[in-house]
Structure 1
Amino acid sequence: MKHNIRHLRIFLAVSNLASISKAARDCGLSQPAVTQAINKIEAELDAALFDRTPQGVFATALGRLHAERIGRALSLIDEAFASVAPRLRVTATASQLEALIAVRETGNFTLAARRLGIAQPTVHRAVSQLEKEAVRPLFERTSTGIVATRAGQLLASAARLMDAELMQADMEIAEALGRETGRIVVGAMPLSRAYLLPKVIARFRQAWPRLPLRILDGPYDEMISGLRNGEVDFLIGALRDPAPIGDIEQTPLFDDTLAIVAGPAHPLVGRSSIGVGDLLDYPWAVAAAGTPTRKHFEDMFTGTGHTVPDRIVETASHILIRELLLNSDHLGCVSALQAEAEIEAGRIARIDFELPDTARAIGITTRRGWKPTASQATLIDLVSNYRPSL
């Protein structure tokens, strides 16, 4: 967290009041101190954020853009400060909040110090200072380590989101000046990784050739947690019904259905009139419990009075499923769109068994109220306008 919170408040005051002297009085500082803070922010961004005139100091178009994003960032942490201890609005520093986040996420002062590259006593002192000003503990020791209290969780989560908003603030200025800095982090579920994202990223690169993209995979719960903490910008893949929590937004794009697939030499390939009983004779490769695909898979058996097969390999890896089908008599229950290219290439085959009522909404998941930068908006638009070729 490289930003100086005090300087950001000064910047916002100058932007709102259009006056160095008024901002100085509002912040309880000298005019030279305010001027120095503004100059430092402009130097860091290498951008002119204000026009200095005899009538006042007025935010440029870039300045207004930055002020809106800074206002969003500070409102996140200020709401948490108000709930925990209003005095923290004046006393808390970025380095203290950074230490708080690291200790909350590692559950250990030594590991937090190692992550931040500073001495352990420095981390402990930063958290202790926050606790002193808050007049309440932010962590408690348990048999498994150090766990954040409710106040500590609230502050750390808000600080994480503030930091994400500030990173977007820097990206916005850079993008407005024709630079490509920062990065976009996308949580990608299996279908999007195999079917949608390769095509979308190729088109995105035409507009943003150098901007780093990080595509994450992993369990849905971990990616949702990253999204809510500001570590992930948005998710692409199967939507949940109902949404798992109220602070996210789900935007459906198109529907996908499921298909049963096997290796080309599987005994069921080419057969017709296949029943559920025939499917019980073989082992399966399926998605993990709790996913929409797994629920449809289990319903296929329980809905006809059968027991769900117990010879199961749980995986989200399309490559693993493909190789397992090629080298054994396993069956797979997978996304029809995800399997399309493999079926056309002859690497796997579709079993002639209908799976009614298996439509799943595929879409984008974001934090509620999230505002994308220009590059993020470009990627979102490309995803939103993508339509399957079926």
Structure 2
Amino acid sequence: MIPRNLRHLRLFLAVADLKSLTLASQKCRVTQPAVSQAIGKMETAAGGTLFERTKQGFFLTSRGEVLAGRVARAFAILDPALSDISQRLCLTMTFAQLQALIAVRETENYTLAARRLGVAQPTVHRAVSQIEREAKSGLFKRTSFGIVATRACQALTQAARLAICELDQADSELAERDGRDIGRIVIGALPLSRSALLPEVLVRFRKLRPNLSISVLDGPYDELLAGLRRGEIDFLLGALRDPAPIGDIRQRRLFDDSLVLLCGRDHPLAKKRGVAPRDLASYPWIVPRTGTPTRLQFDALYDNLEQSAPIGIIESGSILLMREMLNLSDHLGCISRLQAEAELSKGLLVELDFIMDQPNRPIGMTTRHNWIPTAAQQQLLDILQAVEPCRDKL
């Protein structure tokens, strides 16, 4: 791993820009031996030379270009947030201070933050106090619920998370050059993708990258979106939102999906031809939670039928729960057709013979707007696009 020494990383970028140890030392106001020592340590950690030393100056190697690109992106994210608080923080902020700031912001408690970082509580308090002295203002407000970050602190911790993510990406890309896989790919998986898309994609990817760790996180869309924006998740996979909920993300459609109305095998409507709107009104429902694309379409269905929305709805996006409840009761279910594909093909559930007048839903991936994937991440994205045609026919 590249050492998380912000000062050394700035020296590295200065040498890459000025192509001279002397000029870099003058710009950063440190001695030339200090610059040389910092570059040497980084080259050892990077697994190879970062500069070609010539009479004309220092020029980045291909390995150095990989690192310089990621480090430049990290500071392009971090420095504006630091400058908004204090220009001096661009010179004085350390990685340990950033970690302390993030931990306190997330836990809203110095003791919990220290426990997360594995250090003493006074160490965390001192790190935050040093930042506040440079900023000449407080970054946290004490409330009855804990220590709450100011708006400026929230912006800084968000930038710090994304900057750290870029450095992690640099580690992965440098390891890739040496034929190694390090780090992990984190996928935020919405219900449809977990059952109908990811299994095939991950099996294909595992054949190409047997040693790379993969984490698949599930949860409500809002929680996964927050993790994506913090840099904790690489991309989301599932139903796209229209319009996009915020401007710093990018949505890419892969294919379309439709809704299906379901019942158990012994339900009174299971064998009925031409199910009418009035037939639906007398049964309880299991549908995804309020705010999801499927629920919005379900609510629109009842609006189009000019009927009152059913009461006593059970909210769940789990096809497993829905399958069991539909076969144990007279409940009806509404869910993604792709998500129910396995249950329908095996005869575990029955599709109602009801004409759905609802538009298809776009399914795809959501990323941060300026995200640049590593080679391994791009490989996984390519596989996602490769399986698209076999989904379009459904």
Tell me, in whole angstroms, the C-alpha distance in 2 between the residues paired with 1:73 and 1:62. 17
Going from structure 1 to structure 2, the CA distance change for 1:291 and 1:357 (only over 3 Å counts) comes to same
Cα deviations by residue, 1:326-376 (Å, 9 ceiling, x for unpaired): 222221101111111211111111111121123111111111111111011
Note the C-alpha offset of 1:2: 5.9
Alignment of 1:19-34 (within 5 A): 19-34=20-35
State TM-score, norm by structure 2. 0.96
Alignment of 1:256-267 (within 5 A): 256-267=257-268
Given that 2:52 and 2:61 are in contact with CA atoms closer than 8 Å, whether structure 1 keeps it comes out as: yes
Note the C-alpha offset of 1:304: 1.7
- Structure 1 residue 177 and structure 2 residue 167: aligned? no
1:102 counterpart letter in structure 2: A
2:366 counterpart letter in structure 1: T
Q: Which blocks of at least 5 consecutive residues in structure 1 are unaligned?
A: none
* Secondary structure, counterpart of 1:235 in structure 2: strand
* Secondary structure, counterpart of 1:244 in structure 2: coil
2:378 counterpart letter in structure 1: A
Cα deviations by residue, 1:82-132 (Å, 9 ceiling, x for unpaired): 212111001111111111101111111111111111111111111111111
Alignment of 1:57-96 (within 5 A): 57-96=58-97
- Structure 1 residue 49 and structure 2 residue 50: aligned? yes
- Structure 1 residue 366 and structure 2 residue 338: aligned? no
Tell me, in whole angstroms, the C-alpha distance in 1 between the residues paired with 2:147 and 2:356. 48
Residue aligning to 1:353: 354
Residue aligning to 2:137: 136
Residue aligning to 1:250: 251
Query: Which is further off, 145-154 or 201-210?
Result: 201-210
Tell me, in whole angstroms, the C-alpha distance in 2 between the residues paired with 1:384 and 1:208. 17
Tell me, in whole angstroms, the C-alpha distance in 1 between the residues paired with 2:325 and 2:167. 45
Given that 2:3 and 2:42 are in contact with CA atoms closer than 8 Å, whether structure 1 keeps it comes out as: no
Tell me, in whole angstroms, the C-alpha distance in 1 between the residues paired with 2:272 and 2:248. 48
Tell me, in whole angstroms, the C-alpha distance in 1 between the residues paired with 2:52 and 2:323. 61
2:25 counterpart letter in structure 1: A
Residue aligning to 2:239: 238
2:30 counterpart letter in structure 1: L
Residue aligning to 2:18: 17
Moved over 6 A (4+): none
Residue aligning to 1:304: 305
Query: Which is further off, 229-238 or 311-320?
Result: 311-320
Tell me, in whole angstroms, the C-alpha distance in 2 between the residues paired with 1:369 and 1:191. 26
Note the C-alpha offset of 1:133: 0.3
Tell me, in whole angstroms, the C-alpha distance in 1 between the residues paired with 2:246 and 2:182. 32
Residue aligning to 1:146: 147
Counting aligned pairs with the same residue, the percent is 53
Query: Which is further off, 303-312 or 68-77?
Result: 303-312
1:126 counterpart letter in structure 2: A
Given that 2:301 and 2:358 are in contact with CA atoms closer than 8 Å, whether structure 1 keeps it comes out as: no
Tell me, in whole angstroms, the C-alpha distance in 1 between the residues paired with 2:3 and 2:57. 29
1:296 counterpart letter in structure 2: Q
1:131 counterpart letter in structure 2: E
State TM-score, norm by structure 1. 0.97
Tell me, in whole angstroms, the C-alpha distance in 2 between the residues paired with 1:283 and 1:297. 13
Given that 1:2 and 1:94 are in contact with CA atoms closer than 8 Å, whether structure 2 keeps it comes out as: no
1:268 counterpart letter in structure 2: L
Tell me, in whole angstroms, the C-alpha distance in 1 between the residues paired with 2:44 and 2:319. 48
Tell me, in whole angstroms, the C-alpha distance in 2 between the residues paired with 1:248 and 1:67. 24
Residue aligning to 2:209: 208
Tell me, in whole angstroms, the C-alpha distance in 1 between the residues paired with 2:324 and 2:213. 31
Note the C-alpha offset of 1:307: 1.2
Residue aligning to 1:317: 318
Tell me, in whole angstroms, the C-alpha distance in 2 between the residues paired with 1:382 and 1:236. 13
Given that 1:62 and 1:173 are in contact with CA atoms closer than 8 Å, whether structure 2 keeps it comes out as: yes
1:75 counterpart letter in structure 2: A
Tell me, in whole angstroms, the C-alpha distance in 2 between the residues paired with 1:363 and 1:103. 35
Q: Which blocks of at least 5 consecutive residues in structure 2 are unaligned?
A: none
Query: Which is further off, 134-143 or 314-323?
Result: 314-323
Cα deviations by residue, 1:226-249 (Å, 9 ceiling, x for unpaired): 111111111111111111011111
Tell me, in whole angstroms, the C-alpha distance in 1 between the residues paired with 2:165 and 2:128. 21
Tell me, in whole angstroms, the C-alpha distance in 1 between the residues paired with 2:10 and 2:115. 30
Given that 1:200 and 1:382 are in contact with CA atoms closer than 8 Å, whether structure 2 keeps it comes out as: yes
Aligned residues: CA RMSD: 1.4
Given that 1:4 and 1:93 are in contact with CA atoms closer than 8 Å, whether structure 2 keeps it comes out as: yes
Alignment of 1:155-174 (within 5 A): 155-174=156-175
Cα deviations by residue, 1:42-77 (Å, 9 ceiling, x for unpaired): 222323222223432221111111101110001111
Tell me, in whole angstroms, the C-alpha distance in 1 between the residues paired with 2:291 and 2:3. 39
Residue aligning to 1:220: 221
- Structure 1 residue 377 and structure 2 residue 378: aligned? yes
* Secondary structure, counterpart of 1:264 in structure 2: coil
Residue aligning to 1:110: 111
* Secondary structure, counterpart of 1:86 in structure 2: coil
Given that 2:3 and 2:45 are in contact with CA atoms closer than 8 Å, whether structure 1 keeps it comes out as: no
Tell me, in whole angstroms, the C-alpha distance in 1 between the residues paired with 2:318 and 2:19. 55
Going from structure 1 to structure 2, the CA distance change for 1:191 and 1:19 (only over 3 Å counts) comes to same
Tell me, in whole angstroms, the C-alpha distance in 1 between the residues paired with 2:5 and 2:126. 19
Given that 1:261 and 1:333 are in contact with CA atoms closer than 8 Å, whether structure 2 keeps it comes out as: yes
Residue aligning to 2:343: 342
Tell me, in whole angstroms, the C-alpha distance in 2 between the residues paired with 1:155 and 1:295. 35
Q: How many residues align?
A: 390
Residue aligning to 1:39: 40
Tell me, in whole angstroms, the C-alpha distance in 2 between the residues paired with 1:381 and 1:113. 41
1:43 counterpart letter in structure 2: T
Given that 2:285 and 2:331 are in contact with CA atoms closer than 8 Å, whether structure 1 keeps it comes out as: yes
